[in-house]
Structure 1
Amino acid sequence: MKKLLLTGANGFVGSVLLERLLNAGYQVTCTTSSTKSQSRDYECINLDIRDGTAVENAVKKVKPTHLIHLAAISNVATSFSDPYLTWETNVLGTINLLEAIKSQAPDCFSLFVSSSEVYGSSFKSGIPLDEESKCLPLNPYAASKLATEAAIGQYFATSLRGVIARPFNHIGPGQSPDFVTASFAKQIAEIENLKQAPIIHVGNLDANRDFLDVHDVCRAYIKLLEHEDNTFPHNIYNICSGKPYKIKNLLEIMLSQSATNIDVKLDHARLRPSDIPFAVGCNKRIATDVNWQPESSIEQTLGSLLNYWRKHSKSAVLRNQVS
């Protein structure tokens, strides 16, 4: 029986990944930092990964054969406003988990999720970056992820088995409107439901980014878990499309999927002075070693995101009418 421990299961990615893991036949135990509804299909443990004793007890109870570690402070703004929480959660929390695996489930194969943010200033080269590119983080979140990678690498070199994933931007239903495409989708849906004037407020539309459907990212995680004998020629894998998508073009696709006439207005509050103009990855390593490629088209992904917010906005309208 494949017994998998999934941390951070209450997040955007965790919810999607949980369903795919169950469909793939894993016996899943989730850990969350907040209450998550229980199910007959999986167990859920409320866990603060900063608590080393609690982490060890959880790993001892589950005795996982596999681990996917998603739990993290991943909001860049939060990393600036509360760097202590960010470093304690992302670095020390991961070390707590590594120590628990080492002592309680040493044969466990682990997938640690980092971030493309670790490349930072290297994106200024204007070319797709591979895993050998320099990591020059530009914010506390990215710096904490790079420090975590260094800690994990030490455990891989001496005792534990696993890989590190560096996912690029991934989008889909359920993502917070703090992220650009979800913000577009929410605004379009609210305009269609007459909850917002027919003007969509935007920030920098000229930036190029590497976007993936969240389901493609989760499929990559599972392929990494299930790779033959869990042996890899490398410890780190980008998860990316390898394609640059200009934010302006994504907005145009979403607007074309609406029958409503909508004007676009620049909101200076949404501009970020340090915004990197080009952040795209190279996926040659994961394509070669694991035979993974994204399957969803950007049009499909943006359409599913827009339909999610349409349903969400319509439900809110109906609730207000009833009340």
Structure 2
Amino acid sequence: MPSSGSSILGHLGDEPAGFTPEVTALKKLLLTGANGFVGSALIEHLLIAGYQVTCTTTSPPRSQPSEYECINLDIRDKNAVEDTVRKVKPTHLIHLAAISNVATSFRDPYLTWETNVLGTINILEAIKNQASDCFSLFVSSSEVYGSAFKSNIPLDEESRCLPLNPYAASKLATEAAIGQYFATSLRGVITRPFNHIGPGQSPDFVTASFAKQIAMIECSRQEPIIHVGNLDANRDFLDVHDVCRAYIKLLEHEKNDLPHSIYNICSGKAHKIKSLLEIMLSQSDTKIDIKLDPTRLRPSDIPFAVGCKKRIITDIGWQPEKSIDEALASLLNYWRDRSQQTSLLNHAS
């Protein structure tokens, strides 16, 4: 039986000459906004990648998960943010927390700017003061390009940013603040993800709205008519798990001195919204009609919004792996499960 002085490296003195034990540095990652659509998917990827994860959410969890720590945090609270970073002492940060709905940003611009800009500055200050060696990944948005998409070509990271809504404007202002910290004190990277889809996505977003309506129609909880907005727009879509892989791959390259501080995360392909709806309808056996709903039309809608992925491919070798059909199927099946559970509860009551 091993003595009390033994370890996983064996008994002291048993090592071959010249042996130096390898010690793997603990990767402590702080993930803000973990209760959102992306955060829920990202946690699993981070755990598999070997990170010790601490999540922050805007509402207390019903129960503390065994695999990671979860903290209730409002990033607008400067002192609470500072306390959290001091306790966690992260080696890595992914900052997802934000007001990300465009309609909400028009309805409540003060909340949007306070959360997205001042909340991020609270994070930056806390990292600077309490974990200055931390490598931080800040999630911006392709929305910052705005009317630059009117060029009708895929935009790269050097393209002009001409935001068209309060959400996009707040994200661009946040990028400016982050860039100042990167220039003077902190290490990190900014990402501009394009549209991503998958289980858990809010029906405020177009593909999730389609999926929810189809699922409800299949359960006879909605008439067999799907209500839509502009179907002619072309967008760049990714599966959420491909986006998560990009985030982790960027974190893993932090020791290799990333040559750029901003990266698009995109497919580089244009998908017409109508074609996405047709794919989802083909994945259902139910006959469903389509009806235009004027309330779903956005006044500043851009006909073409696609990104260039050359930089991220060249610098870190990331490529999307999931097909658009797979992504839409997983989203639709998620909403089918939700609708069936609701129907069973209603039936039971």
TM tier, shorter chain? over 0.9
Runs ≥4 in structure 1, deviation > 3 angstroms?
A: none
**Partner AA of 1:29 in structure 2:** T
Contact 2:135–2:254 (CA under 8 A) maintained in structure 1: no
Percentage identity across paired residues of the two chains: 82
In the TM superposition, 1:21-60 aligns within 5 A as 21-36=46-61, 37-60=63-86
What is the aligned partner in structure 1 of residue 155 from structure 2? 129
1:275 aligns with 2:301: yes
| 1:273 CA displacement | 2.3
Residues 144-187 of structure 1, C-alpha deviation per residue, up to 9 Å, x if partnerless?
10011001101111111000000000010110111111111111
User: Which of structures 1 and 2 has the bigger CA Rg?
Assistant: 2
Contact 1:8–1:33 (CA under 8 A) maintained in structure 2: yes
In the TM superposition, 1:1-323 aligns within 5 A as 1-36=26-61, 37-227=63-253, 229-323=255-349
Q: Secondary structure at the match of 1:154?
A: helix
Instruction: Compute the RMSD of aligned alpha carbons.
Output: 0.9
Range 55-64 or range 73-82, more displaced: 73-82
Whole-angstrom distance in 1 between the partners of 2:118 and 2:343: 44
Whole-angstrom distance in 2 between the partners of 1:260 and 1:79: 36
Q: TM-score under structure 2 normalisation?
A: 0.91
Whole-angstrom distance in 1 between the partners of 2:59 and 2:305: 32
**Partner AA of 1:6 in structure 2:** L
What is the aligned partner in structure 1 of residue 14 from structure 2? none
Q: Secondary structure at the match of 1:196?
A: coil
Gaps of 5+ in 2: 1-25
Whole-angstrom distance in 1 between the partners of 2:289 and 2:106: 33
Whole-angstrom distance in 1 between the partners of 2:111 and 2:335: 31
**Partner AA of 1:186 in structure 2:** K
Contact 2:267–2:320 (CA under 8 A) maintained in structure 1: yes
Whole-angstrom distance in 1 between the partners of 2:256 and 2:194: 23
Gaps of 5+ in 1: none
**Across the two proteins, how many residue pairs are aligned to each other?**
323
Whole-angstrom distance in 2 between the partners of 1:82 and 1:266: 27
**Partner AA of 2:51 in structure 1:** Y
| 1:75 CA displacement | 1.1
Contact 1:162–1:230 (CA under 8 A) maintained in structure 2: no
**Partner AA of 1:17 in structure 2:** L
